[in-house]
Amino acid sequence: MAQARVRLPPAGPTPATAHFSSSNPRPAHLTFSSKRAPASRYAAAAAANEPPAPIVVVGSANADIYVEVDRLPLAGETVAARAGRSLPGGKGANQAACGGRLALGPTYLVARVGDDANGRLLEGALADAGGVRTDRVARAPDAPSGHAVVMLMPDGQNSIIIVGGANMQGWAAGIGAEDLELIQKAGVLLLQREIPDWVNTQAAQAAKSAGVPVIMDAGGMDAPVPQDLLSLVDIFSPNETELARLTGMPTETFEQISQAAGECHKMGVKEVLVKLGSQGSALFVEGEKPVRQPIIPATEVIDTTGAGDTFTSAFAVALVEGKSKEECMRFAAAAASLCVRVKGAIPSMPDRKSVMKLLESAQVE
């Protein structure tokens, strides 16, 4: 799941020691009163045989330009790629595609794309992914679709350069009233950091006003997280590299990771779900013993792009279905294991039947 990400152009100066910001650069358009979801909400719905509430993803959609290289170029060096092609991606689109394939209920993506060929590529790919409602994906007339250059190494690891485009520039009017109402009816809200923080804050405020839990993937923007956004997040999900950058603390050992998660608790996030690549994952709930989940080994690792998004989205799917946190993590581990066996982000998202089959076989083993 490890990825190195660079955003062009920079969102602003990055401090030498990254930490959580105490302010938001732009106020949200609406203010809502906060209401926390009851812990038994999902279990009660499951017991009553009610269909799961929708999963709503507010986030990015990118056209990923894949180049397969034997190694990354050094400064001033040119290297030849073995192959290259364009595939749909972006953390928001990835998580929505995964939710669409895994969830029993509907999955919505609220996003912005350009009125261009890449935008049409993304709209078509999301429609083809199955299960994703794309009527909340709007075209931004004055900005190109976001895109990314993915440099894929033979071992499946990658480095990514992101150009925000409509993901960053297409939200001038904020989130529309209909989309805010949709968020308030969701079973869970998924956010990432490839769109402006003030848009995430607006979405999170709407969710909290209705008692909808907010899961925020830390991936994307290389900048401090505004405190007013972080305070609205129920589950914060970084990988170990993002956790180190955002807390300014080392994360080389599990003890260090635990201490860094504790720093997030001090910032107001009760639950920290850390993706640890080949070491699996760990959930740190404030005041409780950490829950660890090892990986479910893949038969072959082809491409780790989108594995973290798959994990986060699959966790959310299981959460909406009323599963325990341990069950959520195991379901997510199985989905991520299947994801890395296929090239591309959205094309690699597994379906529910495949995940359940893998879980059954893993239990037998």
- Residues acting as catalytic residues: 309
Was 279 annotated as part of a binding site?
yes
Was 275 annotated as part of a binding site?
yes
**DSSP helix/strand/coil, 116:** coil
Q: How far apart are CA 301 and CA 82, in angstroms?
A: 18
Was 322 annotated as part of a binding site?
no
Q: How far apart are CA 225 and CA 24, in angstroms?
A: 9
**Residue 99: how many other CB atoms lie within 10 Å:** 31
Was 91 annotated as part of a binding site?
yes
Was 344 annotated as part of a binding site?
yes
Q: Element (H or E) spanning 202, and its range?
A: helix 197-209
Was 90 annotated as part of a binding site?
yes
Was 104 annotated as part of a binding site?
no
Give the β-pairing of 214-220 and 188-193. Answer: parallel
Q: Element (H or E) spanning 3, and its range?
A: strand 3-8
**Residue 277: how many other CB atoms lie within 10 Å:** 18
Was 105 annotated as part of a binding site?
no
Q: How far apart are CA 99 and CA 102, in angstroms?
A: 5
Contacts of 353 (CB under 8 A, 6+ apart): none
Was 270 annotated as part of a binding site?
no
Was 100 annotated as part of a binding site?
no
Was 357 annotated as part of a binding site?
no
Contacts of 112 (CB under 8 A, 6+ apart): 61, 137, 138, 139, 140, 143, 166, 167, 170, 171, 195
Contacts of 25 (CB under 8 A, 6+ apart): 197, 198, 226
Was 306 annotated as part of a binding site?
no
User: Phi-psi bin for 260: left (phi > 0), alpha (psi -120 to 50), beta?
Assistant: alpha
Was 186 annotated as part of a binding site?
no
Was 328 annotated as part of a binding site?
no
Was 239 annotated as part of a binding site?
yes
Known binding positions for ATP: 239, 275-280, 308-309
Provide the annotated binding site for K(+).
303, 305, 339, 342, 344, 348
Residues annotated as binding site?
62-64, 90-94, 194, 239, 275-280, 303, 305, 308-309, 339, 342, 344, 348
**Known binding positions for substrate:** 62-64, 90-94, 194, 309
